[in-house]
Amino acid sequence: MSDKNKKIGSVLVVGSGIAGMQASLDCANAGFKVFLVEKQPSIGGNMARLDKTFPTNDCAMCMISPKLVEVGRHLNIDILSYSDLKNVEGQAGNYRVTINRRARFVDEEKCNGCGDCERACPVSLADVFNGELAEHQAIYRLYPQAIPNVFTINKNKLPSPCKATCPAGTNSHGYVALISKGKFLKALDVVRERMPFASICGRICFHPCEDVCNRGKIDEPVSIRNLKRFVADYEWEMIQKGESVERPPDEKPIEIKMDYQEKVAIIGGGPAGLTCAYDLAIKGYPVTVFDANEKLGGMMTYGIPAYRLARDFLEFELDLIVKKGIKVELGTRFGVDFNFEDLEKQGYQTIMFATGAPFTKKIPLEGIDAKGVLESIPFLKETNEGRKPDIGKKIVVIGGGNVAIDVARSAIRIMEPGSEVNVICLESREEMPAHEWEIVEALEEGVKIHPSWGPSKIISDSNGVTGIETIKCISVFDELEKFSPSFDKGIKKTFEASTILLSVGQMSDFSFLSDDIRTKNGVIDTDPLTLETTVKGIFAGGDNVTGPKSLVVAVAQGHRASDSIHRYLRGLDLREDREPIEQTREFAEIPKNTYPAGIPRHVMPTLDAATRKTSFIEMETGFTADMAIKEASRCLNCAICSECYECVRACKAQAINHDSKDELIDLNVGAIILANGFEPFDASLKPEYGFGRYKNVITSLQFERILSASGPYSGDIKRPGDGKAPKKIAWIQCIGSRDVTVGNDYCSSVCCMYATKQSIIAKEHESDTDCTIFFIDMRAFGKGFEGFYNRAKNEHGTHYIRSQVSSIKENPENENLILRYNDVESNNRIVSDEFDLVVLSVGLVANPSIKETAELVGVQCNQFGFAGTQPAYPLLSGREGIFLSGAVNGPKDIPETVMQSSAAAALCGQLLNDARGTEIEVREYPVEKDISDEEPRIGVFVCHCGINIAAVIDVKSVVDYVKKIPGVVHAEDTLYTCSQDSQKIIKETIIEKKLNRLIVASCTPRTHESLFQETLREAGLNKYLFEMADIREQCSWVHQQEPEKATEKAIDLIRGSIGKSHLLEPIHFKTVGITKAALVIGGGLTGMTTSISLAKQGIEVFLVERNDYLGGELIHIDRSLEGDNLQVRLSDAIKEVELEDNITVFLNSTIDSVNGFLGNFTSTIKGTATTEIKHGAIIVATGASQSQPSEFLYGQNDNVMTQRELEVNLKDNFIAKNVVMIQCVGSRNDTRTYCSRTCCSEAIKNALAIKEQHPETIVSILYREIRTYAYKEVYYRKAREKGIRFIHFPDDQYPDVSEKNGALEIKVHNTVLGKELTLPANKLILSPAIIPESENNERIGELLKVPINEDGFFMEAHVKLRPVDFANEGVFVCGLAHSPKFTEENVVQALAVAGRVSCILSKDTLEVGGLISVVDPEKCASCLTCLRECVYEAPFINAEGVAEIEAIKCQGCGNCTSACPAKAIQLRTFTDIQEKALFFSILKEPEILKNELD
């Protein structure tokens, strides 16, 4: 065999809902290594979102949680969550797959699930897991019990527009998010990471971030600039008040300061120079800033008027920067006061020029030199220094830019009242380069703007300027958009002026530069990426490189220059990995699960124009804290994670890495199981039901979350609209199912039952809730479903209305919903009824990932997007070695899913049998600690169980009490003691505190004991040194109304367990061998299928059939509804059984006796001879049969027949004018309450066959419900299209069949028409019930000690999660013996049994013992009582003549213990003395008790 053909003993499972988990466990337990791939951050799928499950109303989380933990800690299951399948190559037995592990930004190994990061995260999103009825943070886990219990950061791949657009790279999203949570100082720290001038920039920035803000698409952008200002002001005010702004040590911005020696000279103390200096000072360089002015700040100080930027803030901020360790030399001009040589001498190693563009451009204009013509920058400098130059009463400002407006507004502030300020500019009003808001403010203050005028001449007399003559400017730019103004010289306007202020642009002066530092187009020629000048090691940045620009651009230049200087001084490459000059224009869109609060943008409070024009007091007064929080909460969190790094600071485990990347993993697997599952139908696709519009219309999954104790309302039933408790709830069925308009012609199979369940649970929460379910057909087809439906109807009072609701309208007064419908069963009345809450029972649709995966692995999908195309072989994908399980191949409920998963595992086992056991690891536990000489050291963990316990019992006070009980060395409470992180805590506590007894006070040992016992073993303790106190089922759940007493009772129960725990002893197992053979009872297709699968997995099979032929009940059925030839399938199976060496068939045989136990049975088969066989497992596949009708003239009139008889007739030419079929003959009545599941489809199959032969035949099907679930619905529709008549009759009004002169006549009350119909019939076809083989079942039940339910079918161990196991280990059930079902379902169940059996028989040995009864031979009187009592036949009289109990047979039921008259038998861990200790301790303190026991 070549390497390529070598079979690999591992399996890839895609999707980790209950299907994927069960498949993984069954594969792993049968000796295969499993890789479980899941897209979500955690496993569990949809089942984890459910509250309860039908028809037993078990808590879904309680069922799935132990499974999650089992998968999570299984040595041979590797969970690859948050991962996608990327590539698949190879063939069955040997696939090479590539998996992309998406970056979750949290190290799975380090994260302990503590949730500190979640509490620190400022970004809230709608929680999809909770139906968007609650919020979670950008760092999150799906739910508290999630496995793996680690956090994940939700990041958009693209950046937030605001952050990506900021030239300086300020993390706007980050600080806005922090502000929204009131974390102002932290927000300020985020600003300062890239923006040293938080306060200044927060006042004067032209905020390009706001232009691109996605919120602007909804209403208006977030006021990002003003928020930045707010946090700067906030800190400033704290300082003014003398409050400390020192950040706590662990919250300080991370600064790594080195001690570099290289001196840097920065020429120019404006924003570019200071930023560069600031960066370098933080890095640890000695930096000196030289500035020609008396003050630092450049244009910030001299150019920006104080009414826009108050001097206090400016000075404060400049001071803050200087304090980073920058040396400042003011009033010294480069090129005049010092030069290159001086700097060199002083040891400066590099220079950065940031000299700005402080000079006003001159224009060639007649009279420009006249007295009274001033430049704008010196004017602004003067006014900013507080001087009031005399400029007269009428001034003209030339220019339309921001500086011109600043000049005009500054001028108006220093002039006498009544003075005139005119601004003239070439541009039209729309073209003016100044910011619109500044122009508007200027206008408000009385500045007059004259657009489209160009100066032609300055008029002056001997005293100086008197006015200016202007001409009309027609256009400013030419066709190439180049500055090229054209004028109409004929149109003139003259302005009087005492002063003219020139403000037509700024420029730099480069006279100080040496020749080798070249300039170009009026700026210093630099490399745009590095800002290096034409001289190596000399840099420049800011306005002298970019031309006059804004503060934020200057800061960007400063950063860029500082980076280059650092690289230069460290000898690094100047260009490598630089941030590109062009910012990304690809921004994140508005994320789906962010929801904007409906708050309008906050307007910055401003002084009124009249007040502000008289002074330089800052005109904008700033946001209040409340405004800031509200404004920040308008942010849509476009990038989702804001990268504020709060989580990094919060995480004590240092598990967070924002830079982590996706990772590709290559695996080699032998087989693949696709278990991608379903997703709920998107209810907004049926807009008429108002989902998304009406607040109180929700989906069933949302209601499931509402019901859940860990859901958005902590288990209180509230409606989302107003939080009121709904008293009247309606369910509308078939939303997105059985609906051609949305392309889903199939039935989703589960909705009728889940709606029924929800109605019951809603009533259990609030007994006066009125529940109504609107439905088409009640599809209660599964095991136990009909009874469940009847209980809802009759015991709980759920109303069922057979009607499709025609409209839902919202009552505007109270947000109730008005439903209109036609009440068919009440005389077709049109009814309008008002409900508080409407639940849409959404169907199951194909998970989008199915298509994706199917394409990757080369598998077909059906027209609905589910995988696979052959209904008869639901597990086969069409590609060998790739199997399907669960909802991936169509909608179904949990037990069907579990069966398919075990079955898929069996198919993997068949394919990979040779490679079984080759890839697995074996778990090794630490050596058990000997505690025999130790005093008890007891640890107690008290569980909140979310609110299940904690809402009633005061858990904290329980813990406080327990701590004081002698022997207890540790007690603590945990939210979910069963969660993986709790196990870790328990294990660590056991080791650290040297515990030798453990008590968990939580739920029931039935589901959770083994989980905790495993933890004990991992901590090196014997697993029987454990006790559970059930304070949930036995306390909080039953004493909800009396919380105080419940708390006392919980204490009592725990005290009892503590008392008992003193007496616990370690118990050890012994190992027994396993017989690798199975006994299969029943030779129908089901039994044969199990046998073949087991045989192929190398297990010997004894197949026993009581008839003289194989084939069972299927010999009566020719074809399936879907058209498969079942007889061919049957004969193929028979052939395969006959050919298979591992199968021995016993025909005409029955089981006579069964002895032994799991792994080691001995049975006798009685046939022509009696054979004794040894085997390790037993499979019951005894089938069922069809009832013989006794009604409707069956047996009396030859034209009355059953469907099966019709099928025989249909083989020939079947001629009848009128055919009538009656459904539910013998099913769903008082004596046989269950639904026979298959009859509706069988009737439709035969009706279609009749129509095919003779389309003119009138076929009428009289029914109570049509239960064509899943894809069978398609045939129901087809039947209606073919003209088959479906006539509904009420449950209690079966048709009346009479015979007149040999002709059949059927009277039936049709509910739709509301009247009785009389139908003639040439043939009347009855659909009889499938009935259990009661006698046979009882006999086998007794032989195998397995139970039978009230309908006479065998009862499995657990209806949801153990659908083919019996509680009695080693015994399994499948096929019709379990319940009525279709052939393809029987086959799946048969394979599921094979999957389960191979989990046992693939092993070589079993561990036995543990919790069993033992006989004290000293006390035994050999009275045989125990032998009579034991149903498992475990006791026997041994060679010594006393009773002994066979360890492996003993189930630990305790019957013998209680029956033994001599008290010679004790059940381990339930010994008399231990139980006494328990009971007395419940009553009294342990020390008192000790005396009593002695």
Partner 1 sequence: MESEKLGFYPGCTLEGSSSGYAESMLKVFDLLKIPIKELDDWSCCGASSAHALDHELHLALNLRNLALAEKQDFKELLAPCAACYHRLISTNNEFYLDNALLASLNKQTGLNYQGKVKVRNILDFLIHQVGIEKIENQVAHSLSSLKIACYYGCLNTRIPRLLPFDKVEYPESMDQIIKALGAETAEWSYKTECCGAGLGITAEDISNKLVSKILLDATAKEVDCIVVACPMCHVNLDTRQDKIIQQFDIPKEIPIYYITQLMGLAFGIEEQFLGIKQNFMPALQI
Q: Which is nearer to partner 1, 578 or 1277 (CB)?
A: 1277
| Closest CB 807 distance from partner 1, rounded Å | 8
Per-position DSSP letters for 1415-1430, written without gaps between them: E-TTT-----HHHHH-
* 693 is an interface residue for partner 1 by CB under 8 A: yes
Question: How are beta strands 829-835 and 817-823 bridged, if at all?
Answer: antiparallel
| Closest CB 221 distance from partner 1, rounded Å | 17
| Closest CB 692 distance from partner 1, rounded Å | 9
Q: Which is nearer to partner 1, 469 or 739 (CB)?
A: 739
The helix or strand, by DSSP H or E, that contains position 25, with its residue range, turns out to be helix 18-29
CB-CB contact of 621 with 607 (8 Å)? yes
Contacts (CB under 8 A) with partner 1, residues 1144-1183: none
| Closest CB 686 distance from partner 1, rounded Å | 8
Written as six digits, the tokens of 278 are: 């600031």
CA dist list (Å): 921 to 6, 32, 64, 69, 1098: 20, 9, 25, 18, 21
Q: Which is nearer to partner 1, 615 or 807 (CB)?
A: 807
Position 1164, amino acid: T
Q: CA 395, CA 458: separation in Å to the nearest integer? A: 12
Contacts (CB under 8 A) with partner 1, residues 1267-1296: none
Part in contact with partner 1 (CB under 8 A); list of ranges 184-192, 686-694, 940-948, 1467-1475: 686-694
| Closest CB 593 distance from partner 1, rounded Å | 21
Tell me whether residue 580 is exposed, middle or buried, using C-beta atoms within 10 angstroms of its C-beta: 0 to 12, 13 to 18, 19 or more: exposed
Q: Which is nearer to partner 1, 684 or 1148 (CB)?
A: 684
Q: If DSSP codes are grouped into helix, strand and coil, which group holds residue 1439?
A: coil
**Could you tell me how far CA 568 lies from the centroid of its own chain?**
48
Written as six digits, the tokens of 279 are: 């960066």
List of E strands, 437-482: 448-450, 453-461, 464-477
731: nearest Cα among 827, 646, 845, 821: 821
* 829 is an interface residue for partner 1 by CB under 8 A: no
The β-bridge partners of 883 are 673, 876
DSSP at 812: T
Q: CA 905, CA 1116: separation in Å to the nearest integer? A: 30
Q: CA 567, CA 559: separation in Å to the nearest integer? A: 12
| Closest CB 812 distance from partner 1, rounded Å | 3
| Closest CB 738 distance from partner 1, rounded Å | 17
Q: Which is nearer to partner 1, 590 or 665 (CB)?
A: 590
Part in contact with partner 1 (CB under 8 A); list of ranges 724-732, 803-811, 877-885, 1084-1092: 803-811
* 688 is an interface residue for partner 1 by CB under 8 A: yes
Q: Which is nearer to partner 1, 813 or 1212 (CB)?
A: 813
Q: Which is nearer to partner 1, 832 or 1040 (CB)?
A: 832
Q: What is the CA radius of gyration of the chain?
A: 42
Q: CA 1016, CA 996: separation in Å to the nearest integer? A: 9
Q: Which is nearer to partner 1, 810 or 1018 (CB)?
A: 810
Q: Which is nearer to partner 1, 567 or 820 (CB)?
A: 820
Q: How many CB atoms lie within 10 A of CB 689?
A: 23
* 598 is an interface residue for partner 1 by CB under 8 A: no
Q: Which is nearer to partner 1, 332 or 807 (CB)?
A: 807
Q: Which is nearer to partner 1, 815 or 1048 (CB)?
A: 815
Q: Which is nearer to partner 1, 240 or 811 (CB)?
A: 811
Locate tokens 């036609």: which residue? 822
Q: CA 1437, CA 1455: separation in Å to the nearest integer? A: 17
Q: Which is nearer to partner 1, 659 or 813 (CB)?
A: 813
Part in contact with partner 1 (CB under 8 A); list of ranges 27-35, 157-165, 643-651, 688-696: 688-696
| Closest CB 735 distance from partner 1, rounded Å | 13
Contacts (CB under 8 A) with partner 1, residues 709-748: 741
| Closest CB 843 distance from partner 1, rounded Å | 18
Position 817, amino acid: L
Q: Which is nearer to partner 1, 1 or 740 (CB)?
A: 740
Part in contact with partner 1 (CB under 8 A); list of ranges 356-364, 804-812, 880-888, 1153-1161: 804-812
> Angle, to 10 degrees, between the axis of helix 18-29 and the axis of helix 1383-1401?
40
Q: CA 1171, CA 1164: separation in Å to the nearest integer? A: 5
| Closest CB 834 distance from partner 1, rounded Å | 13
Q: Which is nearer to partner 1, 628 or 697 (CB)?
A: 697
Part in contact with partner 1 (CB under 8 A); list of ranges 174-182, 275-283, 683-691, 1243-1251: 683-691
237 contact partners, CB below 8 Å, separation of at least 6 = none
| Closest CB 775 distance from partner 1, rounded Å | 20
Phi, psi (rounded to 5 degrees) for 1332: -70, 155
DSSP at 522: T
Q: CA 1394, CA 1134: separation in Å to the nearest integer? A: 17
Contacts (CB under 8 A) with partner 1, residues 124-183: none
The helix or strand, by DSSP H or E, that contains position 1296, with its residue range, turns out to be strand 1296-1300
Written as six digits, the tokens of 1211 are: 């083989």
| Closest CB 809 distance from partner 1, rounded Å | 4
Q: Which residue of 174, 202, 454, 690 would you call a contact of partner 1, by CB under 8 A?
A: 690
CB-CB contact of 61 with 39 (8 Å)? no
Contacts (CB under 8 A) with partner 1, residues 739-798: 741
| Closest CB 647 distance from partner 1, rounded Å | 38
| Closest CB 213 distance from partner 1, rounded Å | 20
Q: If DSSP codes are grouped into helix, strand and coil, which group holds residue 1364?
A: coil
Contacts (CB under 8 A) with partner 1, residues 805-824: 807-810, 812-813
| Closest CB 268 distance from partner 1, rounded Å | 47
Q: CA 1094, CA 1104: separation in Å to the nearest integer? A: 15
Q: Which is nearer to partner 1, 480 or 740 (CB)?
A: 740
Contacts (CB under 8 A) with partner 1, residues 1373-1402: none
Q: CA 311, CA 309: separation in Å to the nearest integer? A: 6
Locate tokens 């034991």: which residue? 1430
Q: Which is nearer to partner 1, 691 or 1382 (CB)?
A: 691
Part in contact with partner 1 (CB under 8 A); list of ranges 97-105, 680-688, 1028-1036, 1486-1494: 680-688
Q: Which residue of 331, 389, 522, 687 would you call a contact of partner 1, by CB under 8 A?
A: 687
CA dist list (Å): 1104 to 1101, 1150, 1151, 1163, 1356: 10, 7, 8, 12, 21
| Closest CB 598 distance from partner 1, rounded Å | 13
Per-position DSSP letters for 340-375, written without gaps between them: HHHHHHTTEEEEEE-----EEPP---BTTTSTTEEE
Part in contact with partner 1 (CB under 8 A); list of ranges 187-195, 229-237, 625-633, 801-809: 801-809
| Closest CB 1005 distance from partner 1, rounded Å | 53
Q: Which is nearer to partner 1, 232 or 837 (CB)?
A: 837
Part in contact with partner 1 (CB under 8 A); list of ranges 159-167, 566-574, 681-689, 695-703: 681-689
Part in contact with partner 1 (CB under 8 A); list of ranges 66-74, 449-457, 802-810, 1073-1081: 802-810
Per-position DSSP letters for 837-857, written without gaps between them: EEEEEE-EEE-HHHHHHHHHH
| Number of residues located near partner 1, criterion CB under 8 A | 12
| Closest CB 819 distance from partner 1, rounded Å | 12
Interface residues with partner 1 (CB under 8 A) are: 686-688, 690, 693, 741, 807-810, 812-813
